[in-house]
């Protein structure tokens, strides 16, 4: 197992607080991670492999001015938490974000984390690119949980737990999961499927999100949406490869792995809802 460079990770996310395995540190790291390391799927979109070992992840997401999607983000976050002494288990979820009510469930194509602290479990997830979480949640169904920038609740649905997000004056289910720990082989198969299957979102669409204390930025293909607390969303359509390059650089702090013109050629087309 590759050693985890906590100093480099802390510098990457701009964290200068205590290095302790407690809730305050977990919450601070969670918020700093999603503000600094954007969700993005540029490698699958460009036909490049996605590696989940900590050596590759630290080179890409920590040293390389890149982000990643859920498997990369949460493997990296898990590495940091375990280096600090947290007790962490990896879980798998089935995404239902854009699914009509009653739709059959899909495969476990999302990774999230269970963190146990002082006898209480928490859900940590820095990699849900449809709606990034800014803080860990108590892993208990029922009560609404408010974070600094959003509202969530966990709902018991038979043997599954659903994460619901309050957005646009309504509750929207994000994903469903159970508490069965996932093996490295489970993530390897799901990651390979998401990174290579020609029919999945990640090989066909550009998806990027960054969540700072001031704003949430979503990019889906050429549609950029900015949401700030207390203000209606603003959006615009990127009209050129040069504009895409500027947004990746200035909004998401991403140095793309291929020229922006190559990416723009893949995504220019009808707008897609975020």
Of the pLDDT bands very low, low, confident and very high (cuts 50, 70, 90), residue 99 is confident
Q: Which of the following is catalytic: 43, 51, 75, 125?
A: 125
Q: What is residue 1's predicted lDDT score, i.e. its pLDDT?
A: 46
Provide the token pair at 87: 């007790």
Is 125 annotated as catalytic? yes
* CA nearest to 252, candidates 35, 19, 38: 38
pTM score of the predicted model: 0.95
* CA nearest to 237, candidates 204, 264, 203: 264
Domain residue ranges in the chain: 198-267
Q: Which of the following is catalytic: 33, 51, 75, 110?
A: 110
Q: Which of the following is catalytic: 30, 33, 51, 70?
A: 70
Q: What is residue 183's predicted lDDT score, i.e. its pLDDT?
A: 97
Q: d(Cα 6, Cα 62) in Å, to the nearest integer?
A: 10
Q: d(Cα 209, Cα 224) in Å, to the nearest integer?
A: 10
Is 166 annotated as catalytic? no
Q: What is the rounded average pLDDT of the residues 50-69?
A: 98
- Reply yes or no on whether the pLDDT at 232 is more than 50: yes
CATH architecture of the domain with residue range 198-267: 2-Layer Sandwich (3.30)
* CA nearest to 158, candidates 177, 143, 171, 174: 177
- Reply yes or no on whether the pLDDT at 93 is more than 50: yes
Q: What is the rounded average pLDDT of the residues 206-230?
A: 96
Is 169 annotated as catalytic? no
- Per cent of the chain over pLDDT 70 is 97
Q: d(Cα 226, Cα 216) in Å, to the nearest integer?
A: 6
Q: What is the rounded average pLDDT of the residues 81-95?
A: 98
Q: What is residue 169's predicted lDDT score, i.e. its pLDDT?
A: 82
- Per cent of the chain over pLDDT 90 is 91
Express each pLDDT in 127-157 by its tens digit: 999 999 999 999 999 999 999 999 999 999 9
Q: What is residue 251's predicted lDDT score, i.e. its pLDDT?
A: 97
């Amino acid at each position: 197992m590759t050693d985890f460079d906590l100093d480099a990770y802390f510098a990457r996310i701009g964290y200068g607080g205590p290095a302790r395995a407690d809730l305050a540190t977990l919450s601070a790291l969670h918020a700093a991670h999603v503000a600094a390391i954007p969700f993005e799927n540029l490698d699958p979109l460009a036909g490049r492999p996605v590696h989940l070992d900590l050596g590759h992840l630290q080179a890409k997401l920590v040293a390389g001015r890149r982000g990643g999607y859920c498997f990369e983000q949460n493997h990296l976050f898990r590495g940091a938490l375990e280096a600090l002494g947290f007790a962490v288990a990896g879980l798998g979820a089935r995404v239902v974000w854009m699914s009509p009510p009653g739709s059959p469930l899909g495969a476990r194509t999302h990774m999230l984390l269970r963190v146990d602290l002082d006898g209480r479990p928490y859900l940590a997830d820095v990699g849900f690119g449809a709606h990034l979480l800014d803080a860990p949640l108590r892993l208990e169904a029922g009560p609404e949980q408010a974070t600094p920038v959003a509202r969530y609740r966990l709902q018991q649905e038979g043997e599954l737990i659903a994460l619901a997000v309050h957005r646009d004056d309504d509750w929207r289910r994000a994903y469903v999961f159970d508490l069965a720990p996932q093996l490295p082989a489970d993530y390897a198969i799901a990651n390979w499927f998401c990174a290579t299957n020609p029919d999945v979102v990640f090989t066909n669409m550009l998806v990027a999100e960054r969540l700072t204390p001031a704003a949430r930025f979503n990019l889906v293909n050429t549609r950029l949406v900015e949401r700030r607390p207390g203000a209606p969303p603003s959006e615009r359509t990127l009209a050129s490869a040069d504009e895409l390059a500027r947004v990746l650089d200035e909004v998401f702090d991403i140095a793309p792995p291929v020229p922006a013109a190559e990416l723009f050629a893949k995504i220019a087309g009808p707008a897609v809802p975020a």
